[in-house]
Amino acid sequence: MFLRSVALLFVLASGSLAQNTTYQNPILPGFHPDPSCIFVPERDDTFFCASSSFLVFPGIPIHASKDLQKWKLVSNVLNRPSQLPGLNTAKRATSGIWAPTLRYRDGTFYLVTTLVYDDYPKNSSARFDNLIFTSEDPYTSTAWSDPVHFEFPGYDSSPFWDDDGQVYITGTFAWEVSPGIQKLPLNIDTGEVGPTKNIWNGTGASAPEGPHLYRKDGYYYLMIAEGGTGAGHMVTMARSTSIDGPYEGHPHNPVLTNAGTTAYFQNVGHADLFQDGEGRWWAVALSVRQGSDGSYPMGRETVLTPVTWEEGEWPIFSNVSGKMSGWHIDSAPVVEDGEGSLVDSSFYGRFEPGSELGPEFVHWRFPVEGDYGISKEGSLQLRSSRANLTGSDGRSAEKEGQTFVGRRQVHSLFEFSATFDITALKREEEEAGVSVFLDQLHHYDLGIVMLPSSTKRKLSSSSNITSLAPHFRVRGITTVPAFTSSDLAVTAIPSPWIGQSITLKIQAKNITHYELSAGPLGKKAEMKTIGYGNGLGLTWGFTGVLLSVYATTNGRTGEFETFVSEWKYDGIGQVVGK
């Protein structure tokens, strides 16, 4: 039995902390990897965090908090297709926006990141497009600039301002080709760069990446990720009295990891450091909550841990777990400004006529203009796409788009449902439904689809024509542990339900499986389980589950419109340990 909050015991790392604030990890649950966070006193003592978004649009979400516990989505940096047209053509789910670094300087927020075309050869100069976004108003999505591009044949680019004001970028080349952390000077206004220099190769583990530089007590501290973003993930550090090195590794590297332990939080790494208003240090990192079967469909999430960093000494990180104790931060109200809601909010949407979808709603690549709207009756209107959620090959951008909109799964245990008016479904394989979606090759769909019925009607003495009828169909596609694509369940909709609005539901009653069910609107007692999806089949890659609705003709010509109402997401509980 899972409770609403199930906590792990917290084991304090060496070092003394005056700890009297408890909080729960993850602070940004669900699909929020590669975190970068800052504290900005000039903005009413507010903390801001950015995270990776890969092929999701709008992308690069910015969350804000006054107390490191209540995090509100305030804007999306990537919010209009004209900012970055290439996102719409990138193949593979591992492509897109990688590892943003958020910094603040003299009234301006800087967001430096990389658009990665991950299907290109590792040594291709076209594989990486490095970008600088700026804003003076982080609470408004449209205030984020178009990007300034700069030349760097690598990824995980992070800016650092030296004492003399010179900006440097640290990043990494494709580590399989040329491992090691690189540094280069940058004009952050124009994108002009200088020569690149290798400054540290890490401790010898695979994939040295995710670098950040910090200046403290006469040293340049370089913090990186190593070991890959899976089970061997870790944080390591080095320091030097010169920005060019040589860099001396921390004598007790790695400084942060859960590798080789039985902790529920695994894959801890790719960290960033920042100070609060009292000058005390904190770190954020990515982590996954891994079930006993190895599954973590919620993907890579953002966790927070306190850090002791005495003058002239190396920092000491506290181990990451679900129930944490940290430096005292007074509880504060939710940030008032911004466009979205608390990261772990439940949602009940009737879609007000004349309104737009909130910043929490996302698409897979860019939405096709005109395929989404809000009707005067307060329903979400979808126009079908020819492509279904897998598309032509499960990795490519579909030229005509994919009609799909969803929100992140942000609770271990939840109920998500949406109600469909399906009267417009007429032709074979026309389908509308809900999906628990990781990417084009990893998703489970519960659709209402027009299929041949089991009965035939006789039109003449010489021909029998099979009529079409609406069916429930559960489809599953995954590459874990091997590629499969199949209909998991197909059943005709009961005749008394036809002509009624149908509610489709996805529910996580435990941390390993999703239950998919359906029934007439408002008749909870008639809900029927249609099928199940295994969370292990959604444990892959860099992203996390999106709970979504879709409409498709499954490759056939023509189109139809369907209306979605009663969108509900109820967060039931977070599982943070055994």
Position 8 scores a pLDDT of 32
Q: pLDDT band at 265, cuts 50/70/90? A: very high
Asked if residues 171 and 163 have their Cβ atoms less than 8 Å apart, the reply is no
Q: What share of the chain is helix, strand, coil (3-state, %, to 5)?
A: 5, 50, 45
Position 178 scores a pLDDT of 85
Position 460 scores a pLDDT of 42
Interval 400-408 mean pLDDT: 98
Tokens of 243: 């920005």
Instruction: Choose between 578 and 486: higher pLDDT.
Output: 486
Q: What does pTM read for this prediction? A: 0.94
Cα end-to-end distance, the chain, whole Å: 11
393 is catalytic: no
Interval 371-382 mean pLDDT: 93
Q: Measure the CA dihedral 204/205/207/210, to 10°.
A: -90
**For residue 494, which of 466, 514, 523, 515 has the smallest C-alpha distance?**
523
Position 236 scores a pLDDT of 98
Residues in CB range of 178: below 8 A, 6 or more apart: none
CATH, range 347-575: 2.60.120.200
Position 144 scores a pLDDT of 99
pLDDT for 423-438, tens place per residue? 999 999 999 999 999 9
Q: pLDDT band at 458, cuts 50/70/90? A: very low
- Whole-angstrom CA distances from 287 to 258, 290, 310 are 9, 9, 26
Q: pLDDT band at 19, cuts 50/70/90? A: low
Q: Please provide the average confidence, as pLDDT, over all residues in the chain.
A: 93
pLDDT reading at 202 higher than 80: yes
Position 578 scores a pLDDT of 60
Interval 389-416 mean pLDDT: 97
pLDDT for 179-192, tens place per residue? 899 999 999 999 99
Interval 513-524 mean pLDDT: 96
Interval 201-206 mean pLDDT: 97
Interval 316-339 mean pLDDT: 96
User: Can you say whether the dihedral through the CA atoms of 481, 482, 483, 485 is positive or negative?
Assistant: negative
Position 15 scores a pLDDT of 37
In the chain, where are the structural domains located? 5-327, 347-575
Interval 64-69 mean pLDDT: 98
Q: pLDDT band at 455, cuts 50/70/90? A: low
Interval 217-227 mean pLDDT: 98
Residue type at position 51: S
Position 7 scores a pLDDT of 34
Residues in CB range of 118: below 8 A, 6 or more apart: 90, 91, 92, 94, 95, 127
Tokens of 100: 């943003």
User: Can you say whether the dihedral through the CA atoms of 313, 318, 320, 325 is positive or negative?
Assistant: negative
34 is catalytic: yes
Choice among 11-25, 161-175, 348-362, 384-398 with the minimum mean pLDDT: 11-25
Distance from C-alpha of 318 to C-alpha of 305, rounded to nearest angstrom: 6
Choice among 66-75, 402-411, 456-465 with the minimum mean pLDDT: 456-465
Instruction: Choose between 460 and 11: higher pLDDT.
Output: 460
Position 143 scores a pLDDT of 98
- Which among 34, 156, 445, 566 is annotated as catalytic? 34
Q: Tokens 């209107």 map to which residue?
A: 381
Equal CATH topology for 5-327 and 347-575: no
**For residue 576, which of 263, 295, 285 has the smallest C-alpha distance?**
263
Tokens of 289: 């909550």
Count of CB atoms situated within 10 Å of the CB of 338: 19
Q: Output the DSSP codes for 19-51.
A: EEEEEES-SB-SS--S-EEEEEGGGTSEEEEE-
pLDDT for 471-497, tens place per residue? 999 999 999 999 999 999 999 999 999
- Which among 67, 118, 156, 209 is annotated as catalytic? 209
Asked if residues 554 and 330 have their Cβ atoms less than 8 Å apart, the reply is no
Position 179 scores a pLDDT of 87
Asked if residues 99 and 270 have their Cβ atoms less than 8 Å apart, the reply is yes
C-alpha triplet 85, 88, 93: angle, nearest 5°: 135
CATH, range 5-327: 2.115.10.20
Interval 64-92 mean pLDDT: 98
**For residue 338, which of 540, 549, 128, 44 has the smallest C-alpha distance?**
44
Interval 399-414 mean pLDDT: 97
Q: pLDDT band at 160, cuts 50/70/90? A: very high
Distance from C-alpha of 512 to C-alpha of 518, rounded to nearest angstrom: 20
